Amino acid sequence: MSILLRGGDVVSGRGAERLDVLLEGEKIAAVGADLGAGEGEVVDCTGKLLFPGFIDGHTHFDLEVGGTITADDFATGSRAALRGGTTTVIDFAAPDKGEPLAAGLARWREKAVGKCACDYGFHMTIDDWNEGICREIGEMAEEGITSFKMYMTYPAMMIGEGEMYRALLRLKEAGGVAGVHCENDGVIRELVRAARAAGRMSPGSHPRTRPAPLEAEAVGHLLRLAQLADAPVIIVHLSCRESMEEVRAARRRGQRVYVETCPHYLLLEDGGYDDPDYMAAAKLVCAPPLRKAEDRAALWAALAGGEIDTVATDHCSFTTAQKRAGRYDFTKIPGGLPGVEHRGVLLYTHGVAAGRITPADMCRVLCENPAKLYGCWPRKGCIAPGGDGDIVVYDPAARGVITAADQAQNTDYTPYEGMETAGAVARVYLRGRLAADRGRVLETQGQFIRRGPCAL
């Protein structure tokens, strides 16, 4: 059974071209002008943009955080992803301290297998360091896991300076790459102590105890360790102008630094934390926190200038009831925002339709770059013969409004409530099968994607 997507504008990182796309089985069989359909179904895509399925390299489904579990598991999170055009997510497997990496991987496989409706992979979290873990990093590559995560904040996740340096050396040797959460933990803890002592326990203290210079300091700090180790690194969820400056300085030194940012840093600001409605402010708590207008502007400029490699969501969703656990103590608000469903339409609306970036730029940061960075190119991330039949049919003429009432994410709010959208995801194909049709999510089965080395 084949499907011919006829007459759409096929987007790549180089531009858009009016071409037909023939899907056969799970694969893209042909891309060209005036392809014949044979016996198969023909879908008129006139006036539509055809993107490769979006890849979200940063989600947290079914994750325990601060005594609760994210509202989205792999079943609901993956369906929300598909509804918004994301056909592959890369989540984070995390062993508990003292466990081998393999134990973390086994646990996350169990969470995802049979439940995840879109394709998926895992980054492996390194939150401990010993000889066993050092050895296991090589074994992870055989499991198709080539990207890792380290933390410079959250004492439960940190491994220490020398260990981080050793991990960078080991990853380089094994052909892996690490994404790092950069914030200066010690000073954040001091600022939290001072806020507590002053009785300032509302969400307004959240951005004030995690200010931009403490992110930039950690980015610069990490990049000097990476310079010494001569290892590539990914700055995940980069949120502010000063961090971008640290990245530029390292790139000028010749370092390989990859940058990820998130829709909330491009679109939202820290003013919301001072909302007198405690819960309205609590719903915006995430780390790093939302920043200022000048940071947003700097991120858009960096995105348009090709300095940001990928836009991922850091989807980590909680319901209002879960966020309420942090009432009267901002440090107990579960941190994270929903977003896996809306990344594509947000980037199109505020990026492409607003004239800040082109469809090709959007394709690079949502498709090509994450596929290359995370070692699944060209199976994923491009519309070319032989690749997986993952396609987003985007209707730029549609108009919509983002609301919690109309979302598949398993939470009762969205930080983008009421935002008007330019265009909409009309249809989504996952490995040659229709997975979402104008907001209706169909039954599909996700596949674990074994990934190779970074190719960006």
Smallest distance, Mn ion to C-beta of residue 326, A: 18
315 neighbors 77 (Cβ within 8 angstroms): yes
Smallest distance, Mn ion to C-beta of residue 71, A: 15
Please list every residue from 89 through 148 that binds Mn ion, using CB under 5 A: none
Which is nearer to Mn ion, 180 or 428 (by Cβ)?
180
Nearest to 319 by CA among 59, 64, 83, 69: 69
Upper half-sphere CA count for residue 119 (Cβ side, 13 Å): 27
Which is nearer to Mn ion, 94 or 391 (by Cβ)?
94
Which is nearer to Mn ion, 13 or 179 (by Cβ)?
179
Contact status: 62 vs Mn ion (CB under 5 A) = no
Upper half-sphere CA count for residue 129 (Cβ side, 13 Å): 18
Smallest distance, Mn ion to C-beta of residue 363, A: 24
Which is nearer to Mn ion, 235 or 434 (by Cβ)?
235
By CB under 5 A, how many residues form the interface with Mn ion?
Answer: 1
Which is nearer to Mn ion, 183 or 314 (by Cβ)?
314
Smallest distance, Mn ion to C-beta of residue 92, A: 7
Smallest distance, Mn ion to C-beta of residue 409, A: 16
CA angle 415-418-424, nearest 5°? 95
Smallest distance, Mn ion to C-beta of residue 234, A: 12
What letter represents residue 439's amino acid? G
Nearest to 333 by CA among 425, 161, 202, 245: 202
3-state secondary structure of 16: strand
Smallest distance, Mn ion to C-beta of residue 344, A: 19
d(CA 179, CA 314): 12
Residue, CB closest to Mn ion = 314
Residue 10, beta-bridge partner list? 17, 50
Please list every residue from 15 through 34 that binds Mn ion, using CB under 5 A: none
Q: What is the DSSP letter of 448?
A: B
Which is nearer to Mn ion, 12 or 184 (by Cβ)?
184
d(CA 335, CA 28): 39
Which is nearer to Mn ion, 246 or 314 (by Cβ)?
314
Smallest distance, Mn ion to C-beta of residue 312, A: 9
Which is nearer to Mn ion, 22 or 150 (by Cβ)?
150
Q: Break the chain down into helix, strand, coil percent, rounded to 5.
A: 35, 25, 40
Residues 292-331: x where in contact with Mn ion by CB under 5 A, - otherwise, as a string: ----------------------x-----------------
Q: How many residues does the chain have?
A: 456
Which is nearer to Mn ion, 50 or 267 (by Cβ)?
267
d(CA 404, CA 415): 9
Residue 4, number of CB atoms within 10 A of its CB: 22
Smallest distance, Mn ion to C-beta of residue 77, A: 13
Contact status: 260 vs Mn ion (CB under 5 A) = no
Residues of this chain that bind Mn ion (CB under 5 A):
314
